[in-house]
Amino acid sequence: MKGVPKPRNKAVSKPTINDIARLAGVSKKTVSRVINRSGSLHDDTREKIEVVIRETGYVPNPQARALALGRNFLIGLVHDNPNAQMILNMQQGILEALRDTDFELVVRPVDRSSPDMLDDVRSFLVRQRLYGVVLLPPISEIDALARLCEEVNCKYVRMGSSVLDDPDHMVASNDRDAVIEATRHLIAQGHRRIGLISGPHGFNSAQVRRDGFEFALAEAGIKLPRSLIADGQYTFESGIAAAESLFDLQPRPTAIFACNDEMAAGVLFAARSRGIAVPEELSIIGFDDTPIAARVWPPLTTVRWPIVAMGRSAALKIIGDATSVSPEDQEPSTFVSTLVRRGSVAPPMK
């Protein structure tokens, strides 16, 4: 008898659509019309039913709706665990949009490197009949995932991806501009030997950030020898390793731009352990404005992108047409990142 769920519970039973129909003296179907704002019905009837619904505190059973519609009122969040804070902020934004709707958020981490990843996601979407999914970077860059969503008729929004020509399925920030601004900031301070710690190959965000960096240098007429570019993996440890390699250069760079805060924190850590003073001997700029950026010493100058707002926008794009939000309120697809100046940048020593 193991594995048998308990019998249904009468104690917490709530009014059903039949109760409402009986109380209002109409048919189930008419009540359904009121709930879904579908079909046409008389104002008197609608009002009468709405009163009954309000008085009884009736709420439609999501499971029954899901079964009848073949579609659940769940939004999936699919991610590959790049950064705890980012995921959580994204959740926060999505949940803000879902608050006071019938939707719930289901979290689904996946393993990008697994060959079963696509099948995992497919079975997740199909089995749960998800209403929609939000794809977080970096897996949002995988086109096959987007095609999969189309295929199984599941709405989707890709975060921070490069598919900029499709505002319905895409929410991004202007990383490139922000990196350019950050790099210009270093240049304006007088830095000329600026190191870059890149993100991992194959990541769109890494490519975009690097592009911006190189553009800003070229714009200022500064040459960028290959040796000043160190590969990073977006992790703290890779930041340390990359910093070490840059520190070994003669002369040392006077500033380092790290493509995310984790790595920037690694640079700072490595500098400390070598006794390199920050910002006096070395300026550092990071990216993301995760909490760590403000908690290290000196606090890191970095680039902030509005994750929470982007999460909210992504969710609204998905549920927009199912809620009473007016369709004119198109959610923005691109968000502006800004440079946050803290204490890790100073002019280079003479």
Residues that bind a copy of itself (CB under 8 A): 1-6, 8-9, 11-12, 14, 36-38, 59, 61-64, 66-67, 69-72, 74, 81, 84-85, 87-89, 91-92, 95, 104-109, 123, 126-129, 131, 151-153, 236, 262, 265-266, 268-269, 272-273, 291-292, 294-298, 321-324, 327
From the list DNA, a copy of itself, none, pick the one residue 349 interacts with, judged by a Cβ distance below 5 to 8 Å according to partner type: none
Q: Which of 1, 2, 5, 100 binds DNA (CB under 7 A)?
A: 5
Q: Residue 28 interacts with DNA (CB under 7 A)?
A: yes
- Nearest alpha carbon to residue 169 among 155, 180, 154, 182: 155
Provide, rounded to whole angstroms, the least separation between the CB of residue 57 and DNA: 12
Q: How far is the CB of 318 from DNA (least distance, A)?
A: 18
Q: Which does 292 bind (CB under 5 to 8 A by kind): DNA, a copy of itself, none?
A: a copy of itself
| Cα–Cα distance for residue pair 44/46, rounded to 1 Å | 5
**Residue 29 in contact with DNA, rule: CB under 7 A:** yes
CB atoms within 10 A of CB 160: 23
- Region of 234 please: left (phi>0), alpha (psi -120 to 50) or beta: left
Q: How far is the CB of 39 from a copy of itself (least distance, A)?
A: 8
3-state helix, strand, coil in the chain (%, to 5): 45, 15, 40
Task: Decide which of DNA, a copy of itself, none touches 188; Cβ closer than 5 to 8 Å per partner kind.
Answer: none
* Burial grade of 73 (CB within 10 A; 0-12, 13-18, 19 or more): buried
Instruction: Answer with the entry of a copy of itself, DNA, none that 45 interacts with (C-beta below 5 to 8 A by kind).
Output: DNA
| Residue 163 binds DNA (CB under 7 A) | no
123 scored as a contact of DNA (CB under 7 A):
no
SS3 of 156, please?
A: strand
The answer to whether the beta carbons of residues 146 and 169 sit under 8 Å apart is yes
Q: Which residue from 297, 234, 251, 250 is spatially nearest to 271, judged by alpha carbons?
A: 297
Which CB, 70 or 251, lies closer to DNA? 70
Q: Return the number of other C-beta atoms located less than 10 Å from residue 40's C-beta.
A: 6
Task: Establish if 81 lies at the interface with DNA (CB under 7 A).
Answer: no
Position among 27, 227, 273, 330 found at the interface with DNA (CB under 7 A): 27
**77: which strand partners?**
107, 134
Return the number of the residue (207 or 290) whose C-beta is nearest a copy of itself: 290
Quick one: which of 140, 180, 134 has its CA closest to 160?
Answer: 140
Q: CB under 5 to 8 A by kind: which of a copy of itself, DNA, none does 294 bind?
A: a copy of itself
Strands (E) in the chain, as ranges, are: 74-79, 104-109, 132-135, 155-159, 170-173, 194-197, 229-230, 255-258, 283-285, 302-304, 334-335, 338-340
Based on CB atoms, which residue is closest to DNA, 36 or 92?
36
Q: Residues 36-40: contacts with CB within 8 Å, 24+ apart? A: 37/324
Question: Token digits for 144?
Answer: 């096959």
The one segment of 42-50, 132-140, 214-222, 253-261 that binds DNA by CB under 7 A:
42-50
Query: Does 51 help bind DNA (rule: CB under 7 A)?
Result: no
User: Is residue 291 close enough to count as binding DNA by CB under 7 A?
Assistant: no
Nearer to a copy of itself, 70 or 221 (CB): 70
Write out the DSSP string of 222-261: ----GGGEE---SSHHHHHHHHHHHHTSSSPPSEEEESSH
Per CB under 7 A, 56 contacts DNA? no
Structure tokens at 106: 């289901």
Catalog residues that contact DNA under the rule CB under 7 A: 4-5, 7-8, 13, 16-18, 25-33, 35-36, 38-42, 44-46, 58, 60-61, 64-65, 67-70
